[in-house]
Chains A and B, each alone.
Chain A
């Protein structure tokens, strides 16, 4: 959170002013931010080589958000809306990566993949299947959308509890509760199959 000085209400107001047109541009800009952010996270993650298990992240924080705002090309209705979209995008991107990875690991279509590249992809960092998780998350969203949103923000965009609470405008304890519930439910879904 680099720009704490700027109250979020003001941002939202500014947003409204600028939201008259250029939806397409803001989409591109957002995508770019999302990618940049993912790259940064990935990079940082690898740098640390898992010293401590969490990824210190300020994913898609105000810095990125404000950049968008400065471009005066934002049509996003509000800040939380913005984060929600970004988080969903990150989820999709990551899942897409995971799909590719799956395919490679299984030696499927990509038989023409050069060996050394195939080898650089290490075994799974997590002990579960991301793709299965993705599907389970969809089911969870049908039960309670907010839980899924929390998972997207926490797990897929790498926000911590405090950040997630801010983004969603909820209390930290609510987020903690949601997170705990979602984890238990998803975990069970994954072990069931």
Chain B
């Protein structure tokens, strides 16, 4: 209808309505005259008007109010959303709302982004986005925001990610002008993230300051990978404000909302984007950080896009003359309009940026040397580059074992092997890989079983194949933790079968070079076995082997032969083929049934169900008593169950069969045998060093080694080894606990805390984490933190752990009765004759404290029981219990000596017994015989091992011995050492008692002021102590006399 006509209709309509209803008809007829169309139009509108009374009078919101309400209700503070508890809303963006929440399961803060409903609509785009975002997150790059989960609940899609405390780069830029080193540092971190993403063919598409978060420690996180694309595809929606390329005509006037400043020319033109788009956007970003304004800005979106396409930015040097030439050159290159002329990869850009930074640092150094102490801090402010995300410290002994324990075997199984290629170069040149190279990792899929025979189901053949393939350093199998982690990102259950399809997906996400798919089919009574190696990215076949087995009994043997052939085909050298050639049926078992049980047992282990694994493994060794691998696993299973004694027995059994197994397994058997059967660290070290050399991707060896070092106080070495273990297997939660433990021992508390955060950021969880945080809180005197962690332990890890932790704190502050009660309750909870070593130690811990506080109690029986169960790895302290109390010996030195001798007879080469127990027990005995001088001599042997399992004991005893000898200065020095190394054992009662010891020592040395001060320090720590503790009563008396 033409405009005029419409106007006319309106006029008549309005006028008609000014007439009374019964006159309207006549009026309209009159006005319209002969124009029948007009008449019909107006009449129909009038009749519509008459029935439209309530029409649209209820606002539209009513229609969907319930849906909106559901959403609000769900997300009020304190509201549970799955196992997330909403804390508060932290933002609203174009994609949806973002909430801060607490993950109750893992006790950590997370950010939850609830996607707006409109994104639900297009499932395929959403899927693509989800998989892309997961893939980016799965890169595990420290500068890429980690996504924990994608979910759907109550009609909302949500994304759970790590919570970053910090500011967006936009906020940072707005608040202050960044220095050149800061800008370089930020740029380098972003480029690093992009480089990693690009390598996996992920383009961000929307690099802008709003998508970059900076943590207070300077860490940079790139957010929202994949999101931009989703928004692009959803461009008709008005909500997509964050989206870069699309014009959104919000009004008739054509307003564009959203940022176009960071668009690349190809985006502005609506062309296909690629990696180089991100490079351009990054160039814009860096330019803006330096110049204080973006390079292309036309006042409005259309003009800005125009200048992106056609204008050259104002040269940086004109805006900020101090910018080095090289920096300007780099930015210009990133900002080339023709992408062919830009940096082609983020890596190239990274190299240049890093180069500039190095040059600048070097120059700075020169300048600083020339003009001393001038503005040194400048480069420091923003230093945390990707490389120094490191962790730290140490602490309690029991944990470490657990840590290696559990996963030890998991790791082993998973780890492994590398395909070393002969022609690595050709791969890069032609982008094809005829064979694998040592850098490549391969994934084993589950066997495809078409025989109908359940024996071949599940992972039976896969585990056998894994053993066979793992033996050669040429192959690197993708670790089991990695598989499970990737499945999690894929939204699949962790025990999902690795079908060839799932396998391909994992390869794609993790950039794995090859997928190995095995098939077994029946041919009458025979079996056909096929092994096929596929290119992990393209799916194309790299190598394949087929072999026929005559009858079921021959299947394993045939599989072994096929595997060997395949290794050859993949490019393994003859020499390693010959060296690592243990036949599969011998390296595992010739009994398919035993193999089947073993595989199922392993599966349970992987899932952390040691108890469930036990009967299966036991049954497997019943079927084949020579099944060395199964014994090895049995040993680890018992370690996981806390029964180191049994673990030692099975390790010994595995050791007796070690000649049958593959080279790697042999070394791992040596390792566990010396760890749990002989306790001989030197021997264990040999095995581990060998594994490290031959199988550089085995994370277990460095971890075991690190554990060994940790136990004897070689903390720096221990740290190095665990960091190596993390490098090899960053998904193993225990390693972070161990690193944290070591750092605590080194008094590097903040780093220790940071390490745990880092692990949690990776979605890893472990009860030890909270305990370490608790210890750090204790060590730093942070009562709130202690309380918070205690609650977390109680809620998440259970009452027993909470009671034990609380008991430790009570002992520390001299509340012995409370500690006793707590220990008692904890022991009750665990059910006494449980196989748990920690359980047996509880009463001993209470007794030790009592002895130190002046209450002597016979503890021999408790100690004996604890020893039976935990044997070599029990905290050695239990040996000292009967021996001493503060200053005056208590207990039965002879009995202690007898126990120690028994242990040593049994385990003559056990490192811990030799470096700690032996000298300490002897020293205690000597003290009891009033031979303090001898005691000191014995204890000298333990000095090189300070900071390990024995914590403060050697120093404490030496302090006591010097007090006996009335050598005040030396005694004071020993106690001071304890006070300087709180981290060795943050909750130890010997720490407060060291103040007391020092007070006495100083008084002996004639330093009465110092002595009084130390007494006061002691009283302060023990302000809530039980008033009748003999040691406290004595201390008060002595203090009075001093005044």
Contact = CB atoms under 8 A, between A and B. Distances in A.
B55 A97 contact: no
A192 to B, nearest CB: 9
Interface in B386-442: none
A23 B66 contact: no
A32 B92 CA distance: 5
Nearest to A76: B255
Contact of A42 (B17, B46, B61): B61
A53 interface: yes
A128 to B, nearest CB: 7
Contacts of A117: 70, 154-155
A57 B62 CA distance: 12
B14 A126 contact: no
Nearest to A143: B6
Contacts of A54: 57-59
Interface string B45-72: 1101101101111111111111111111
Interface stretch (A4-12, A60-68, A99-107): A99-107
B10 A181 contact: yes
A183 B63 contact: no
A188 B241 CA distance: 34
Interface stretch (B102-110, B115-123, B550-558, B884-892): B115-123
A183 B117 contact: no
Classify chain A: how many residues form its interface, as a range.
35 or more
Q: Is the interface of A mostly helix, strand, loop or mixed?
A: helix
A39 B291 CA distance: 41
Interface in A118-158: 120-122, 124-126, 128, 130, 133, 141, 143-145, 151, 154-158
Contacts of B237: 92, 96
A187 B52 contact: yes
B14 A158 contact: no
A46 to B, nearest CB: 5
A173 to B, nearest CB: 10
Contacts of A188: 44-45, 48
A31 interface: yes
B63 A124 contact: yes
Contacts of A145: 252
B346 to A, nearest CB: 24
Interface in B134-180: 152, 154-155, 170
A24 B174 CA distance: 13
Contacts of B94: 27-28, 31
Contacts of B64: 42, 94, 97-98, 101
Nearest to B209: A24
Given A85-B251, A104-B155, A181-B10, A94 B63 contact: yes
B68 A97 contact: yes
Interface in B1-56: 1, 6, 10, 13-14, 17, 44-46, 48-49, 51-52, 54-56
A113 interface: yes
A113 B152 CA distance: 9
Interface string B174-197: 000000000000000000000000
Interface in A1-48: 23-25, 27-28, 30-32, 35-36, 38-39, 41-43, 45-46
Contacts of B46: 184
B257 A187 contact: no
A151 B92 contact: no
A43 to B, nearest CB: 6
Contacts of A113: 155
Nearest to A88: B250
Contact of B155 (A38, A46, A100, A124): A100
Contacts of A122: 66
Given A151-B56, A155-B56, A42 B72 contact: yes
A36 B37 CA distance: 46
A89 B239 CA distance: 7
Contacts of B908: none
Interface in B266-306: 301
A183 B64 CA distance: 20
A151 B55 CA distance: 12
Given A88-B250, A100-B155, A187-B51, A130 B60 contact: yes
Given A35-B92, A180-B49, A185-B45, A27 B258 contact: yes
Given A46-B69, A88-B238, A183-B56, A31 B62 contact: no
B45 A184 contact: yes
Contacts of B235: none
A115 interface: no
B969 interface: no
B67 A97 contact: yes
A83 B422 CA distance: 68
B457 interface: no
A151 B57 CA distance: 10
B61 A38 contact: yes
B32 to A, nearest CB: 17
B239 A93 contact: yes
A166 interface: no
Given A31-B241, A99-B121, A187-B52, A41 B65 contact: yes
A30 B64 CA distance: 21
Given A98-B64, A143-B1, A185-B48, A85 B58 contact: no
Contacts of A36: 92
B93 interface: yes
B897 to A, nearest CB: 68
B62 A126 contact: yes
Nearest to A97: B64
Contacts of B67: 97, 100-101, 121
A44 to B, nearest CB: 9
B259 interface: yes
A88 B63 CA distance: 17
B252 A45 contact: no
B754 interface: no
B12 to A, nearest CB: 11
B48 A38 contact: no
A91 B237 CA distance: 11
B431 to A, nearest CB: 40
Contact of A126 (B52, B63, B242, B253): B63
Interface of B: 1, 6, 10, 13-14, 17, 44-46, 48-49, 51-52, 54-72, 91-94, 97, 116-118, 120-121, 123, 152, 154-155, 170, 210, 237-239, 241-242, 250-253, 255, 257-259, 301
25 contacts: A25-B170, A28-B241, A31-B94, A41-B65, A43-B68, A88-B250, A94-B60, A96-B117, A96-B118, A97-B117, A98-B64, A100-B118, A101-B63, A103-B121, A104-B155, A117-B70, A120-B66, A121-B66, A125-B63, A130-B60, A151-B56, A155-B59, A158-B59, A181-B13, A191-B48
What 6 pairs across the A-B complex have the smallest Cβ distances?
A97-B64, A184-B49, A188-B48, A42-B68, A32-B92, A42-B65
Interface of A: 23-25, 27-28, 30-32, 35-36, 38-39, 41-43, 45-46, 50, 53-55, 57, 81, 84-85, 88-89, 91-94, 96-101, 103-104, 109-110, 112-114, 117, 120-122, 124-126, 128, 130, 133, 141, 143-145, 151, 154-158, 177, 180-181, 183-188, 191
Given A27-B241, A43-B72, A126-B62, 12 more contacts: A31-B93, A41-B59, A53-B54, A89-B250, A92-B239, A94-B63, A120-B66, A120-B70, A156-B61, A177-B14, A180-B49, A184-B13
